[in-house]
Amino acid sequence: MFKKITVSVLALALVTLLSVDVKGQTGSLLGGNIFNSAITGTAIGAATMGVTNNSDFTPLRVGLGSGILFGAGMALYDVTTLPSGQQFYISGLINNGNNTSIILLLDTMYGAAGGALIGSAVMLIANKPIVDGLQYGSSIGTFAGFGLGLLDIFIFSERNENYISSSMSERHSLIQFSDSNLNIGLIQPRLYSFNEFSDNSLSVEFTPGLQLLSINKSF
């Protein structure tokens, strides 16, 4: 009985922490990182079940618990790297957020979605059940996205610089690689204008588009 009461109190405290509009930056980072990492850990557990084709729920339990612990560690990492008096901000390769774990979560989800699409396409070509492609493709994609996410948050991402990340203010493309002399951008939104003459009148039309690749080199 005592154990059930203790678990209920801890669960209530966790839900309260995640749902209340926390004013303090530390509390906000703690709640956000734990919540996001719990979802990421659960996704990894589900991917493990998918790859092994096993209905045992142990990987989900281990993934959820590990995600909560990882989220607490990420919150500590965010707090210790946050400049005093500033709101936390991080800009990754593809996503931006107010805590580190959201970058990892989104990269993991993108990997799962991409893996599911590729797996389904392969099954269609091979005339095999699409369900198998969804299962194994999304599972492998989840691990791939998680691996990319770890590289993203610890190597490629940029953090606070006067509240706005420098990569956010300077980035023009969805994916951008830069050094001192070379700038490569992939998938850049553009707005194209066209002039049209008709019946002694001039009109300008604007059409949105995407520039797939841009390369700038300075010497």
Segments making up each domain of the chain, as ranges: 2-165, 175-217
Rounded CA separation 43/49 (Å): 10
* DSSP-derived pairing of the beta strands 201-217 and 175-178: unpaired
Q: Is the pLDDT of residue 2 over 50?
A: no
> 145-185, pLDDT tens digit by residue?
999 999 988 888 887 653 444 444 445 555 566 665 666 77
Q: pTM score, two decimals?
A: 0.62
Per-residue model confidence (pLDDT) at position 55: 85
- Is residue 175 within 8 Å of 148, Cβ to Cβ? no
Residues with Cβ within 8 Å of residue 111, at least 6 apart in sequence: 141, 142, 143, 144, 145, 146, 148, 149
3-state secondary structure of 188: strand
